[in-house]
Structure 1
């Protein structure tokens, strides 16, 4: 089980990472609360063509945790995983909070980012305010209650009408077996609250970008994804009608097809 060590102002943390496939590196960055296990809809398809690297964000899975964190720290964690994997630069694919981490990494270390795939994510903007860290009672509900008791809430929050019951149940089963630290995930909440990738910063990011967003997203409004794609200078938007926040589950293989087409197009342009 490989690990990377990330030294940041909020603490030194050990990060569990894995890889599959060969070729150009694609690094997957998961969103808030979820471990790298939640990349299961994407890894097999991407690994047929690329070296896919994924990891557990601090506070989740087999990675360590800190009591506080910033998105800059989380971007530094991605760099630490890339260093441990011997990767100088890569295509970065992030969803939700993971998309914000990818944007932060492109801002902090643009030389490490070949391209960006940004799923169900947003900039910091007055039009789409970020949630405040939950209070004590909300934390108990969010981090202590078993997934089986939260299924009705999760179905509404994470999935759109496009998702099949079978796909939702499979996803909830993976989620139910996932490990995380309440302390570490609260640190992610603090990081999200301090996220400051504003339109001005995002407009300066030049890597090719693919923005993926569902119209039925209850967590990050579809309009935020549209605005992100409009602000990035070299981006294309793919819209999934009827898909919710967890669009990889809702649309199935379609998302992988779109990502692979985007990456193949970049490879073709590099060769010509």
Structure 2
């Protein structure tokens, strides 16, 4: 029996698919969708096993990719611009490698080609924090390291002390398993075979996925353009207007 994948669609025009990061939720993209829906048919979705999407077995990047292919089929879309942020960049890479005929272009946002030792150590620490202290402490740490300090102060900081014992709805087991899928994914040796318009976007102040990963990713894909900005690990949220201006510029250049 086919598992349900929850998707959202807004706007009209050339189809674009936005693939979220480790959190895996379609709603991550709401600020971006609001600025792109005037001119583009924008599709977002909850990854299998996250939010309102179902899953069978353990999460994996190829499973997310297959869910995306199914969505394109369901919506009658032959090909689309594919944007993957962070974890989503791995899905976008796999779409481009396995189904290039379904992909007009790829944007790899705050992504990476393969995990290095620092990446592995950082995610091992996040897993330890998650399983030892729980979802509330894990989410607090993520916000502290993923957003620029000034943006955090303006949008997330509260006067009251952080309550690390507060209950959390975060699915600890699924979040842990999704980090595992990142630690064991590497198709970097295939990237030089790509032949699609590609932009790699990275932030100099990204502590979660440091900018050198974007530099490496761009160097491995023939003809890829590297775009440097700021905004921590979440420029789609912290630099939404500038981010969407960049996307429109790229997509219009290959229309």
State TM-score, norm by structure 1.
Answer: 0.80
Quote the RMSD (CA, aligned, Å): 2.7
2:246 matches 1:234:
no
Output the CA distance in 1 between the equivalents of 2:140 and 2:172. Answer: 21
Q: How many residues get paired? A: 245
| Secondary structure of residue in 1 paired with 2:4 | strand
> Which residue is 1:20 aligned to?
10
2:254 maps to which of 266, 269, 272: 266
Output the CA distance in 1 between the equivalents of 2:169 and 2:46. Answer: 10
> How do residues 36-185 of structure 1 correspond to structure 2 at under 5 angstroms?
36-124=26-114, 126=116, 129-130=119-120, 138-140=129-131, 144-146=134-136, 152-161=140-149, 163=151, 165-168=153-156, 181-185=171-175
Q: 1:161 to 1:194 in 2, by over 3 A?
A: same
Output the CA distance in 2 between the equivalents of 1:210 and 1:49. Answer: 20
| Secondary structure of residue in 1 paired with 2:193 | coil
Q: 1:134 to 1:159 in 2, by over 3 A?
A: closer
| Secondary structure of residue in 2 paired with 1:157 | helix
> Which residue is 1:256 aligned to?
244
| Secondary structure of residue in 1 paired with 2:6 | strand
Contact 1:163 / 1:251 at 8 angstroms: preserved in 2? no
Query: Which structure 2 segments of 5+ residues have no match?
Result: 158-167
| Secondary structure of residue in 1 paired with 2:222 | coil
Contact 1:117 / 1:211 at 8 angstroms: preserved in 2? yes
| Secondary structure of residue in 1 paired with 2:22 | coil
1:145-174 deviation line (CA, Å, top 9, x unaligned)? 33xx556523332112463634446xxxxx
Contact 1:167 / 1:249 at 8 angstroms: preserved in 2? no
| Secondary structure of residue in 2 paired with 1:163 | helix
State TM-score, norm by structure 2.
Answer: 0.85
Contact 2:147 / 2:234 at 8 angstroms: preserved in 1? yes
The structural deviation recorded for 1:232 is 1.1
Query: Which structure 1 segments of 5+ residues have no match?
Result: 1-6, 170-177, 268-272
Output the CA distance in 1 between the equivalents of 2:87 and 2:186. Answer: 12
